[in-house]
Chains A and B, each alone.
Chain A
Amino acid sequence: MAKGNIITENLNRDGVDRRGFLKCMAWAGTGAFCVLQGGVLKSFALGDSALRRVPKVKGELAFVQISDSHIGFNKAANPDVVATLRAAIAKINALPTPPAFVLHTGDLSQLSKPEQFDTLEQTLNEIRTDKIFYVPGEHDVLDDNGAAYRARFAKDTLGDGWYSFDTDGAHFIGLVNVMNLKAGGLGNLGPDQLAWLEKDVHHLKSSTPIVLFAHMPLWLIYPEWGWGTSDSEQALGLLKRFGSITVLNGHIHQTMRKVEGNVTFHTAMSTAFPQGAPGMAAAPGPMKVPAEKLRSVLGVTDVNFIRGSHTLGITDSTLDSAL
């Protein structure tokens, strides 16, 4: 992995230096629990006994992010994407505390086909949680500008499918950055969505923790592969008065993190197939790994939000790791 891309400098006055963050990065993908608490970064491997001593704080919100299920994909990189999605669901259902909700950050399907959406929806019904929130990936809006996706997964949303909700004192914002992409460009939010975003957060106190989620990364990871969003800086600019912003994305099928000021960026693993690290190959795309290794490169992300302390603990665990 091109570690030099992960964090270039410590812009945050939180005591987290590059070394500390890379230590956290080293766990990512093998199952990690990262807590930013009182300005100090702590990381634990899953299964580490120290993890059990992390105190439970009143008001804690736990939710799970999954991503890139690509139902309908059947090539060598993973001939059975439903089986690996089920393995991810088994991990979620084995959590000691059921997640309040699940965020799916897009690419539900491979080709936006009704039967692929059917299978995804029916399979996700097996998750023990109250609600699943979605944002579309570029695979979910093929040929119909996302009409079928919205009819099924984003009924009460605005524009191309964006929305927000409040829970446990935090404000969650689901953005769509896979529509109306311009030749030569990256992911795109567009002026309408940005105008809505500005209004959406206008009434909020600056102390409100913000969680932004979208399919394509809202930070420039690797433009050569289109891994970024052209107007993400404008979106983040509209949020700069907020003290805590967490950005959750998918699309790149691997975990990456960066902290910049008050913003923590995180990308989740896929439940379907891995992609190579940026620049490893001529192009992005499904990466074939030996069958016995597949579940070590797929996974789910748990997020624990501790009310009042601006602390978000993000845990990535692979499908083959023990919780």
Chain B
Amino acid sequence: MKNNRIIKWQGIANGAMLTLTVLGMLLFSGRHATAGDSGKPSNKYQVNIQDFSFQPVTLSVPVGATVTWTNKDEEPHTVFSSDDVFKSKALDSDESFAFTFSKAGTYKYFCSVHPRMVATIVVGGAKKPEPMKMNMRAGSD
């Protein structure tokens, strides 16, 4: 199975999908996506779903960032915004879901299958973390 199968796409025009999917492939093939066609820095971030937790549990991203969640467990998980902003289907092992954040704010989310799994995406916070460090645990705001 392809590692980066996009299950559901929300919040972004279809025309951008192919480009971002290709970027996702680059990301998963071990290369950090650092530039798109325009040469601007990448707005792509990754959250791993592993050991019944979202890693990192808090992720700060700039406005316009696309976050891709990938299920690394043998158990299905979902990505559900607590405020119904985004909602994935059930992700089987190695399946992914992506969402582009176009508005600043704090987005709490959880796994609807295992609701003890809670996490947060902070969009447009004061400090913009480097995409290269995106898998490290971010400090809470």
Contact = CB atoms under 8 A, between A and B. Distances in A.
Contacts, number: 60
Interface in A141-157: 142-143
Contacts of B76: 110-111, 139, 142
Interface of B is mostly: loop
A224 interface: yes
B17 interface: no
A112 interface: yes
A226 interface: yes
25 contacts: A73-B74, A75-B74, A77-B74, A110-B92, A111-B92, A138-B113, A138-B114, A139-B113, A142-B76, A142-B78, A181-B112, A181-B113, A182-B115, A183-B118, A184-B110, A184-B116, A185-B115, A186-B116, A225-B52, A225-B116, A226-B114, A226-B116, A283-B51, A285-B51, A285-B74
Interface of B: 51-53, 73-76, 78, 80, 82, 89-90, 92-93, 108-110, 112-116, 118
Contacts of B118: 183-184
Interface of A: 73, 75, 77, 110-112, 138-139, 142-143, 181-186, 223-226, 282-286
Nearest to A184: B118
Contacts of A181: 112-113, 115
Contacts of B75: 285-286
Contacts of A110: 76, 92
A223 B51 CA distance: 16
Given A111-B76, A183-B109, 9 more contacts: A73-B74, A111-B90, A138-B113, A138-B114, A143-B90, A183-B82, A186-B116, A223-B116, A285-B52
